[in-house]
Amino acid sequence: MNNEIGSPEVIVPSVPADSGIVEDRTQRNAGNLEVSRRGGLEAVGVHAWFNKHHALADVSLHFPENTVTGLIGPSGCGKSTFLRLLNRMHEFIPKAAMAGEVLFEGNDIYAPGVNPIEIRRRIGMVFQKANPFPAMNIGENVVAGLKLARVKTDDKDALIEDCLSRAGLWNEVKDRLKAPGGSLSGGQQQRLCIARALALKPDVLLLDEPCSALDPGSTLRVEETIVQLSESMTIVMVTHNMQQAARVSDYCAFFLSDGGPGRLVEADLTTNIFSNPSDQRTADYVQGRFG
């Protein structure tokens, strides 16, 4: 490893060669750092407050289209807060406030007159804890978003199959679509939640530690799903798992709080973050020296 700033031990964590997702994601998208307006998402000078507590300060970050960006950093550094700011879920927390702009296709999603419901339809979200609707069966869960958003579809069954296939769950559940969503395993439930988000055909998918409650096998399946989805949509993912960030993401953004509000320390191609970060704190974190 040749790097001038990071220490010699900085290595990209190895991934088993047969996992199917070892391809160097960063090469595919190398040189794609330019701002792409179409379907693109960008945060400009974003701050967040909860009541008087300043949780996040001055984050500017661009998410290139059809890439996976990993948000990494120790707990409490504002990653999830930042994620929830990107599709206006932030405002559901009482006394939450924000500053700055989030540009979706060049337009500020916090501008007056913007319908947040429309924003959330196009910028989907999957949560840390799998949360299928308990009163609905598997198939109903997939199309729950259509029902909630009152979107009509011509062929519901085809959509259910398509979404479940893209979420990598179809083969496991195709014979029991009428079973309750809660009857699935944790990993399957999480993929069901991804399928549910896909049914609305979002342009961006936000994932908040989607694998934190899953076993390694399920994690691998979800990671494969994420990589496949990134062919057709922009993905932003919060993760505490450095190996996962290295395996899945094209870009990484490292957040850190020094006791005050969380800040963006650096954002770069994932290979650079892991092998050649420009900030010593990033190097320390990705090597597991703290956090």
189 and 164 Cβ atoms separated by less than 8 Å: no
For the beta sheet containing 53-63, the strands, ordered from the edge strand earlier in sequence to the opposite edge, are 107-108, 96-104, 41-50, 53-63, 262-269, 251-257, 68-72, 234-238, 204-208, 123-126
- Nearest to another protein of 32, 128 (CB atom): 128
Contact 12, 277 (CB under 8 A): no
Binding piece for another protein, criterion CB under 8 A, among 2-10, 65-73, 113-121, 267-275: 113-121
Ramachandran quadrant class, 45 (left: phi over 0; alpha: psi -120 to 50; beta: rest): left
Q: How far is CA 271 from the centre of its chain?
A: 18
Query: Using CB under 8 A, which of the segments 17-25, 50-58, 112-120, 246-254 binds another protein?
Result: 112-120
| Distance separating alpha carbons of residues 282 and 273, to the nearest angstrom | 7
- Binding span for another protein by CB under 8 A among 4-12, 43-51, 115-123, 155-163: 115-123
The least distance separating another protein from the CB of residue 172, rounded to whole angstroms, comes to 21
User: Of 187-206, which residues contact another protein (CB under 8 A)?
Assistant: 193, 196-197, 200
Task: List beta partners, residue 263.
Answer: 256
SS3 157: helix
Span of 31-39, 45-53, 126-134, 263-271 interacting with another protein by CB under 8 A: 126-134
Is the alpha carbon torsion for 158, 159, 165, 169 positive or negative?
A: negative
Give the residue, chosen from 1, 35, 149, 158, that forms a contact with another protein under the rule CB under 8 A: 149
> Do residues 75 and 290 make contact, with C-beta atoms less than 8 angstroms apart?
no
Taking the C-alpha atoms of residue 161 and residue 166, their distance in angstroms, rounded to an integer, is 9
Cβ 134 to another protein shortest distance, Å: 8
Considering only residues 245-284, where is the footprint of another protein by CB under 8 A? none
Residue 196 Cβ, how far from another protein at the closest point, in Å? 7
Residues 6 or more apart whose CB falls under 8 angstroms from that of 288 comprise 242
Give the per-residue contact string, 60-99, with another protein (x = CB under 8 A; - = no).
---------------------------x-x--x-x-----
Residue closer to another protein by CB (options 185, 278) is: 185
Strand partners, 257: 262
Nearest partner of 215 among 190, 187, 188, 189, judged by Cα? 187
User: For another protein, how many residues bind (rule: CB under 8 A)?
Assistant: 26
Q: 10 or 143: whose CB is closer to another protein?
A: 143
Closest Cα to residue 11, out of 273, 281, 291?
Answer: 273
- Kindly tell me which residue out of 37, 53, 129, 174 binds another protein, with binding defined by CB under 8 A: 129
CB of 125 to another protein, least distance (A): 4
Provide the minimum distance between the beta carbon of 285 and another protein in the complex, in angstroms, as a whole number.
Answer: 28
- 124-150 per-residue burial string, b: 16 or more CB within 10 A, e: under 16: bbbbeebebbeebbbbbbbbbbbeeee
* Residue 117 touches another protein, criterion: CB under 8 A: yes
Report if residue 133 touches another protein, rule: CB under 8 A. Answer: yes
Toward another protein, which CB reaches closer, 135 or 158? 135
- Nearest approach in angstroms of CB 149 to another protein is 4
The binding site for another protein (CB under 8 A) comprises 87, 89, 92, 94, 117-118, 120-121, 124-125, 127, 129, 131, 133-135, 144-145, 147-150, 193, 196-197, 200
